[in-house]
Amino acid sequence: LLADIDIFIAQTWLRAKDNYQALTSFNRYLNLYPTGKDRDAALYYLGYLYHETKDYQMATSAFQSLIDGHSGSEYVPSAKFYLAEIDYYLANYNMALDAFLQIVKAEPENSDAILRLAQIYYYTGSYDNAETWVNKLAPTYDSLILEGHIQFIRKEYEQALLSFQKA
């Protein structure tokens, strides 16, 4: 019962957007209940909170602990996405590319992962691959801007202008 109360308190701090108290409470839960049934949730939310504060080292540690210790958890797919995002933010494009390809293999309709693949290919100069992936997306601001940049690099100025205007 105490473990349930402690995880509830941590989640309440999270909902109240008091990140410091939420971090403290999730860490408290992990320290007090080494076999608690909600360890996967606590690790996930720790990773999420650290990610939001751009403490990528701590976020990576929490997400990796979740994946390694709770491989069947409902939080694992999202943790893998955040790990790929961290590699993307840190310009570790080869690692991010591999991770996002695995995510899209498991979730073919994941538009966020597809957009990241298109962006990675664009940033690494692989414009044909970038175009292939961006064409799989419904038109959104981000996809249209990327499409416009690809067209601009190819000197397709009229098409680029149209894409930018649609955005």
1 in helix, strand or coil? coil
Per-residue burial over 1-36, b if 16 or more Cβ lie within 10 Å, else e, is eeeeebbebbbebbeeeeeeebbebbeebbeebeeb
pLDDT reported for residue 149: 98
Spatial distance between the Cα atoms of 60 and 66, rounded to a whole number of angstroms? 10
User: What residues does each domain of the chain span?
Assistant: 1-89, 91-167
Q: Which fold has domain 1-89?
A: 1.25.40
pLDDT at residue 100 in the model: 99
pLDDT of residue 118: 99
Report whether 118 contacts 146 (CB < 8 A): yes
CA distances from 162 to 40, 94, 145, 148, 166 (A): 46, 31, 10, 8, 6
pLDDT at 26: 98
CATH superfamily of 91-167: Tetratricopeptide repeat domain (1.25.40.10)
Q: What is the DSSP string of 52-69?
A: HTT-HHHHHHHHHHHHHH
pTM of the model: 0.91
List the alpha helices (DSSP H) in the chain: 2-15, 19-32, 39-52, 56-69, 76-89, 93-106, 111-123, 127-134, 141-153, 157-166
Residue ranges of the chain with pLDDT lower than 50? none
pLDDT in tens, 147-163: 999 999 999 999 999 99
User: What is the per-residue pLDDT for 20?
Assistant: 96
Q: What angle do CA 162, 163, 164 make, to 5 degrees?
A: 90
CA distance readout (Å), 149 to 75, 120, 155:
35, 13, 10
pLDDT at 38 (0 to 100): 98
Same fold, 1-89 and 91-167: yes
**Residue 23 pLDDT:** 98
